[in-house]
Chains A and B, each alone.
Chain A
Amino acid sequence: AQKITQTQPGMFVQEKEAVTLDCTYDTSDPSYGLFWYKQPSSGEMIFLIYQGSYDQQNATEGRYSLNFQKARKSANLVISASQLGDSAMYFCAMREFGNEKLTFGTGTRLTIIP
């Protein structure tokens, strides 16, 4: 069964610093995808970045990058040069290919301090 663990309930980071949000996962399927979503206080879910289990390189999208360590089953989100607008809940999620279920972690609340 697929499972996502986010061990940081909350984080405080100084503006302009980089931040790493942890995510570990568990699956026995060799084919899967990992996703990160941002949920600001307004409530909507915003897709940030994707990493496939067979991708050779770590995914990057602007200031977001995914530190994918397959052997350790971790998929940490790195946000460079944090901004006040980055304050939000961040969810890691996984989908085993062939399975329509997207499993979410419990989230990390990130607060950027000016």
Chain B
Amino acid sequence: NAGVTQTPKFRVLKTGQSMTLLCAQDMNHEYMYWYRQDPGMGLRLIHYSVGEGTTAKGEVPDGYNVSRLKKQNFLLGLESAAPSQTSVYFCASSRWTGESSYEQYFGPGTRLTVT
């Protein structure tokens, strides 16, 4: 049981390049999330998904796109990377939340630098 995994762990991009971050979970969770973490700030929600084939915008969605074609995978895309997107990206998953306490399980993070 690997939990939540993220690929790659590190990446350096030049401004304008594109890339896709892959998140996979093996806990059969319905909900998946992408966050970014910047120095001096907590995690901020980029996009999330409440089930296969559905996605929704979070707090800071601009410049990112996501897809959830399979329940276990959640992809985060940067179409044209900018230096402001230099950050550590975390993926998370959880069971159906509703009015309940289910915590989010986080992946190990991807450190992205855009030069």
Measuring CB to CB, which residues of chain A are less than 8 angstroms from any residue of chain B? Answer: 4, 31, 33, 35, 37, 43-47, 50, 52, 91, 93, 95, 97-98, 100-107
Q: Give Cα A43–Cα B104 distance, bound, in whole angstroms.
A: 16
- Judge whether B105 and A47 touch: CB under 8 Å: yes
Complex: how many Å from CA A44 to CA B48? 19
Q: A43-B88, A95-B97 are in contact. Are A104 and B105 (CB under 8 A)?
A: no
- Within 8 Å of chain A (Cβ to Cβ): is B108? yes
Chain B residues closer than 8 Å to A44, beta-carbon distance: 106-109
From residue A16, how far is it (CB to closest CB) to chain B in Å? Answer: 28
Q: Which residues of the other chain, A, contact B59 by a CB distance below 8 angstroms?
A: 101
Closest A residue by C-beta to B98: A97
| B 32-74 to A, binary, CB cutoff 8 A, 1 in contact else 0 | 0100000011111100101000001011000000000000000
Range of interface residues on chain B? 20 to 34
Which one, B42, B98, B101, B108, contacts A91 given CB within 8 A? B42
Name which of A43, A50, A52, A97 has the most chain B CB atoms within 10 A of its CB: A43
- Which of A52, A98, A100, A103 is close to B56, meaning CB atoms less than 8 Å apart? A100
A71 smallest CB distance to B (angstroms) = 21
Question: How distant is B102 from chain A, measured CB to nearest CB, in Å?
Answer: 9
- 24 A-B pairs with CB atoms under 8 Å apart are A33-B100, A35-B103, A37-B106, A43-B109, A44-B109, A45-B43, A45-B90, A46-B106, A47-B105, A91-B42, A91-B43, A93-B42, A97-B98, A97-B99, A97-B100, A100-B31, A100-B48, A100-B97, A102-B43, A102-B104, A104-B43, A104-B44, A106-B40, A106-B41
The answer to whether A43 touches B108, judged by C-beta atoms less than 8 angstroms apart, is: yes
CB-nearest residue of chain B relative to A59? B101
The distance from the CB of B73 to the nearest CB of chain A, in whole angstroms, is 18
B58's partner among A50, A95, A101, A107 (CB-CB below 8 A) is: A101
Residues on A with C-beta less than 8 A from B97 are: 95, 97, 100
Instruction: List the B residue with the shortest CB-CB distance to A4.
Output: B42
